[in-house]
Amino acid sequence: MDYFLSEEQKMIVEIARQITDERIIPQRAELDENDAFPRAILNEMAQADLFGIPIPEEFGGFGGGCLDIVLALEQLGRGCIGVGTAFAASSLGVYPILIAGSQEMREKYLSDVASGRKFAAFGLTEANAGSDASGIQTTAVLDGDEWVINGTKQWITNGGEAQIYTIVAITDRSRGARGASMLVVEEGDPGFSCGPKEKKMGIRSSSTTELIFKDCRIPKDRLIGRKGTGFITVMKTLDSSRPGIAALGLGLAQGALDEAATYAKQRVQFGKPIIAFQAVQHMLADMAIQLEAARALVYGAARHIDAHPNDMSKVSSMCKVFATDMAMKVATDAVQVMGGYGYMREYPVEKMMRDAKILQIYEGTNQIQRNVVGQELNKEYGRT
């Protein structure tokens, strides 16, 4: 379908497609097998200016919007959402600075991330604070001109690989949700370290670690925005980033459909290619229908968000749920179409099915997304 993309958007697609076809697809199985961080591929993306897409032009970026980043992530996701996640997490890591950081802070960090010289990471989740972010235990206490941070963040994407970390810490426990703040921690800050790489079911090329703060001291001016605005910044950050996760789902599903349809044309049983059997045809048709419906929703949501509306949360959550549930279903069906071959590591759909699961979990579980949509509906219908 023609989604009437601009010339620049078509260029983004071409570049991301070339990186996916020439760099990611040939290496993805090996990266997965070895839990290897895709440093060389990310450097290539940096050279191609992809890290600059969401960063304003004054900091050396492209000044792109939600749809621009969605288009890049969809292509990357077609190759490997592990690599796509590592890429996306760097943008996620600087969104808080983009959204709420001072001009000095933006100048200090954004151009390094736009050029890909530095990677970023976003630290919210803790052992007791997953879907319920109010369970955060990490604290930051002002001591003279320094913040002193204590606590442990869990499952942080790009942990150990990033140089810039934006984290959430409680700065005033008595104030509840208004007592959280966001701060920038840099690699090498005293008292800050990363745990070992976690062993995961999928997206194994992306790095996931703990962030450990033991009397970690950072300068006072590393506070992002005003004290106590941490949760607002987190919500705005996730509203902006969720369509990107939806886009990884679109790409993954496209890759799975491509594999399954190609296989179904070649695989002969009972004297015919299996694509000639209605049972298989209908599965492939449903995969294609669901994928296109999800794409229309994600692109539509991204365009809506690019108009900076005040009901961003709802559409952002809607497209994340729909596209990632679709990706899980399509990947599972791709394995089914390919039968025993699909279950083998020799074929890529096995990895796609393992990878797809995380899309329904991270950046807010799909249950939490439905809460967001439901609460918005409750508000909308309460107004009448």
As annotated, the active-site residues are: 363
Determine, following the binding rule CB under 8 A, whether residue 62 of this chain makes contact with another protein: yes
Determine, following the binding rule CB under 8 A, whether residue 79 of this chain makes contact with another protein: no
Nearest alpha carbon to residue 355 among 67, 140, 80, 60 = 80
Residue with tokens 């997965």: 32
Measure the CA dihedral 178/180/182/187, to 10°: 180
Q: Which letter, b or e, does each residue of 18-27 get, where b requires 16 or more Cβ atoms within 10 Å of its Cβ?
A: ebbeebbeeb
* Closer CB to another protein, 9 or 158, in the complex: 9
How near is the Cβ of 10 to another protein at its closest, in Å?
Answer: 9
Given 8, 143, 221, 380, the residue binding another protein (CB under 8 A) = 8
Question: Are 74 and 248 in contact, with CB atoms under 8 Å apart?
Answer: yes
The identity of residue 25, as a single letter, is I
d(CA 241, CA 153): 20
* Closer CB to another protein, 114 or 280, in the complex: 114
d(CA 255, CA 201): 19
How near is the Cβ of 325 to another protein at its closest, in Å?
Answer: 32
> How far lies 375's CA from each of 193, 313, 363, in Å?
38, 10, 18
* Closer CB to another protein, 71 or 149, in the complex: 71
Q: What is the DSSP letter of 270?
A: T
* Closer CB to another protein, 20 or 85, in the complex: 20
d(CA 288, CA 271): 26
* Closer CB to another protein, 46 or 261, in the complex: 46
Given 11, 148, 232, 275, the residue binding another protein (CB under 8 A) = 11
Per-residue x/- track, 296-335, another protein (CB under 8 A): ----------------------------------------
3-state class (DSSP) for residue 163: coil
Given 24, 27, 49, 222, the residue binding another protein (CB under 8 A) = 49
Determine, following the binding rule CB under 8 A, whether residue 6 of this chain makes contact with another protein: no
* Closer CB to another protein, 30 or 143, in the complex: 30
Q: Which of residues 29-48 bind another protein (CB under 8 A)?
A: 44, 47-48
d(CA 315, CA 318): 5
How near is the Cβ of 76 to another protein at its closest, in Å?
Answer: 12
How near is the Cβ of 253 to another protein at its closest, in Å?
Answer: 24
Determine, following the binding rule CB under 8 A, whether residue 57 of this chain makes contact with another protein: no
d(CA 123, CA 183): 10
Given 15, 36, 235, 288, the residue binding another protein (CB under 8 A) = 15
How near is the Cβ of 362 to another protein at its closest, in Å?
Answer: 27
Nearest alpha carbon to residue 238 among 324, 300, 317 = 317
Determine, following the binding rule CB under 8 A, whether residue 145 of this chain makes contact with another protein: no
Which chain residues interact with another protein by CB under 8 A? Answer: 7-8, 11-12, 14-15, 18-19, 22-23, 44, 47-50, 52-53, 62
